[in-house]
Amino acid sequence: MRAYAIGDIHGHLEKLRHAHALIAADRARQNDDTAPVVHIGDLVDRGPDSCGVITLLMAGQARGEPWVVLKGNHDKAMGLFLQQPSQRDPKMRAGLTWLHPRIGGGASLESYGVDVSPAQPSGAIHTSARALVPQAHRDFLRNLPLSFRAGDLFFCHAGVRPGVALDAQAEVDLIWIREEFHQSNADHGALVIHGHTPVDVATHYGNRVNIDTGAGFERALSAVVIEGRDVWLLTDTGRTALHRV
Q: How far apart are the first and last CA of the chain?
A: 23
Q: For residue range 31-45, what is the model confidence (pLDDT) as tens digits? A: 999 999 999 999 999
Domain count along the chain: 1
| pLDDT at residue 145, as a whole number | 98
Residues 161 and 189: beta-carbon distance below 8 Å: no
Rounded (to 5) percent helix, strand, coil in the chain: 35, 20, 50
Residue range of the domain that includes 76 = 2-241
CATH of the domain at 200: 3.60.21.10
pTM of this structure: 0.97
Q: For residue range 175-234, what is the model confidence (pLDDT) as tens digits? A: 999 999 999 999 999 999 999 999 999 999 999 999 999 999 999 999 999 999 999 999
What mean pLDDT comes out for the span 170-175? 98
